[in-house]
Copies of this chain bind each other. A is one copy, B any other.
Amino acid sequence: MSKIEPRTLKGFRDFLPEDQIQRQKMIEIIRASYETFGFEPLETPALEYAEILTGKYGEEGDKLMYRFRDNGDRDVALRYDLTIPLARVAAQYENEIKKPFKRYQISPVWRAENTQKGRFREFYQCDADIVGSNSLLADAEILALSANTLLALGLKNEDFVIRVNSREIISAFYDSLKLSSEQKSVAIRMVDKIDKIGEDGVREELSKNNFSDSNIKSVLNFATGKLKEGGETKEAFEKLQKIIEKASTLSPKTKFVTDFSIARGLDYYTGMIFETTLIKAPQFGSVMSGGRYDNLIGMFANKTFPAVGTSIGLDRLIAALEELKLIKTEKTVIRALVVNFEESLEKDYLKLVSDLRNAGINTMLYFDTADLKKQLSYANDRGIPFALLYGQNEAKEGLIIVKNLVTGTQEKVKFDEVINYLSIPFKTSK
């Protein structure tokens, strides 16, 4: 058989252990953070009937979907996000699920994105949502959860700001200008870009779209927070203030700021919306976003269910944390390599590794009796912090030489005490 070229599809990635160890750790931190807030895990399939997914993400979403006919000629598609599958589940198991239903899901999603923009076609989302509550406390919990999860991942309060807005405020404001629905959507889209194109850019775009000077001025005042709250937006604004107040009680040192320029792309939001900007790495855009969507689940049910949620784009966040040097990379999960000097001692080696493993210490036995230098260099290359040396002399004395490969020091430890010795936290990084 001729050789098949080993290659990965464009936009898809292999995560070798050095990367995957870190990714897994971050996922565990996110999971633990979500669970402290009382969110519980849900898992939905990678494949769905296409009709469940299409038409929910706008025209572009439908184009980017991995959609095909399966062997039974069903029209199917790979999961495009985790929100629509949640909406399906909430409707499908309506009678089994107790409300409020607080669930999280951390799973890959697939989009046939343009990879030249540095986007991936398979990437992880980490979502937490509350289904079945209208309470402002639910909105506040979503905001506080977002903040606390970033803190759990190693960010400090001064590293990020959560910018909060409300679709109700946006609607009330634009309705008051009596814009056409087309103009309204142009304005929302342009204002959402104000960080990139500036006030002048917004002014120019609105001008092109036949906005009156007074409307342009109003829109810019609104977008930059210079508009006095009152009139049409008053009620919605007070509601948002209450949400932020409650969120601040839950996560006191977090910067929650109102920002009337943010809009969030998706159409389904109905209330509070938010984005999270890393102050020292704003170029990564929002690393955690979400909002309230009270009508979405109704697409699958005979009634509507209020819902509010947050989502971390894991890949973007990792890229940003790497940039900020906030990622502590660990090359290996292995704590000790047992050096293999000679076959006659193999039973002792096997007993030693078994004891260590049973004590929960991740241990590797070198399989071949290669020379010591080669074995130590393997351990060094892999980043394994300890090498355990046990030859004929040590066997006679019932001792093991524990070599700390980071500091270069070594100590003799009794065979039976090596577990305790290795369980003690050690300086294993320079």
Chain A interface residues (CB < 8 Å from chain B) = 1, 3-10, 12-17, 20-21, 23-24, 32, 35-38, 40-49, 51-52, 63-64, 66, 68-72, 74, 76, 78, 88-89, 91-93, 96-98, 100, 102-103, 108, 110, 112, 122, 133, 135, 137-138, 140-141, 144, 148, 246, 249-252, 299-302, 332-334, 346-347, 350-351, 353-354, 356-358, 360-365, 367-368, 378, 381-382
Q: Tell me, rounded to whole Å, the shortest Cβ–Cβ distance linking A410 to chain B.
A: 21
Identify which of A9, A135, A251 gathers the most chain B CB atoms within 10 Å of its CB: A9
Q: Are B42 and A299 within 8 A (Cβ)?
A: no
Q: Are B42 and A14 within 8 A (Cβ)?
A: yes
Q: Tell me, rounded to whole Å, the shortest Cβ–Cβ distance linking A373 to chain B.
A: 15
Q: Tell me, rounded to whole Å, the shortest Cβ–Cβ distance linking A55 to chain B.
A: 8
Residues of the B chain whose Cβ atoms lie less than 8 Å from the Cβ of A88: 6-7
Q: Are A102 and B364 within 8 A (Cβ)?
A: yes
> Which residue in chain B gives the minimum CB-CB distance to A13?
B45
Q: Are B14 and A44 within 8 A (Cβ)?
A: yes
Q: Are B354 and A112 within 8 A (Cβ)?
A: no
Copies in the complex: 2
Q: How far apart sit A41 and B14, CA to CA, in the bound complex (Å)?
A: 11
Q: How far apart sit A357 and B103, CA to CA, in the bound complex (Å)?
A: 16
- B16, B52, B351: which contacts A93 (Cβ < 8 A)? B16
Q: Tell me, rounded to whole Å, the shortest Cβ–Cβ distance linking A241 to chain B.
A: 15
Query: Known contacts A9-B49, A20-B43, A47-B122; can you find 12 more A-B pairs with CB under 8 A?
Result: A3-B300, A6-B92, A7-B49, A7-B52, A8-B45, A9-B47, A13-B45, A20-B41, A36-B356, A36-B357, A37-B357, A37-B364
Q: Are A367 and B36 within 8 A (Cβ)?
A: no
Q: Are A350 and B135 within 8 A (Cβ)?
A: no
Residues of the B chain whose Cβ atoms lie less than 8 Å from the Cβ of A69: 68
Q: Is the interface of A mostly helix, strand, loop or mixed?
A: mixed
Query: Taking A20-B42, A92-B14, A357-B148 as contacts, is the C-beta distance between A346 and B246 under 8 angstroms?
Result: yes
Q: Tell me, rounded to whole Å, the shortest Cβ–Cβ distance linking A128 to chain B.
A: 13
> Which residue in chain B gives the minimum CB-CB distance to A363?
B38
Q: Are B40 and A3 within 8 A (Cβ)?
A: no
Residues of the B chain whose Cβ atoms lie less than 8 Å from the Cβ of A102: 364
Q: How far apart sit A7 and B1, CA to CA, in the bound complex (Å)?
A: 43
Residues of the B chain whose Cβ atoms lie less than 8 Å from the Cβ of A76: 9
Q: Tell me, rounded to whole Å, the shortest Cβ–Cβ distance linking A227 to chain B.
A: 30
Q: How far apart sit A98 and B133, CA to CA, in the bound complex (Å)?
A: 52
Q: Tell me, rounded to whole Å, the shortest Cβ–Cβ distance linking A196 to chain B.
A: 28
Q: Tell me, rounded to whole Å, the shortest Cβ–Cβ distance linking A81 to chain B.
A: 15
7 contacts between A and B (CB under 8 A): A9-B76, A13-B45, A14-B89, A40-B333, A46-B122, A64-B71, A98-B382
> Which residue in chain B gives the minimum CB-CB distance to A1?
B299
Query: Taking A38-B363, A246-B350, A361-B36 as contacts, is the C-beta distance between A378 and B45 under 8 angstroms?
Result: no
Q: Tell me, rounded to whole Å, the shortest Cβ–Cβ distance linking A212 to chain B.
A: 34
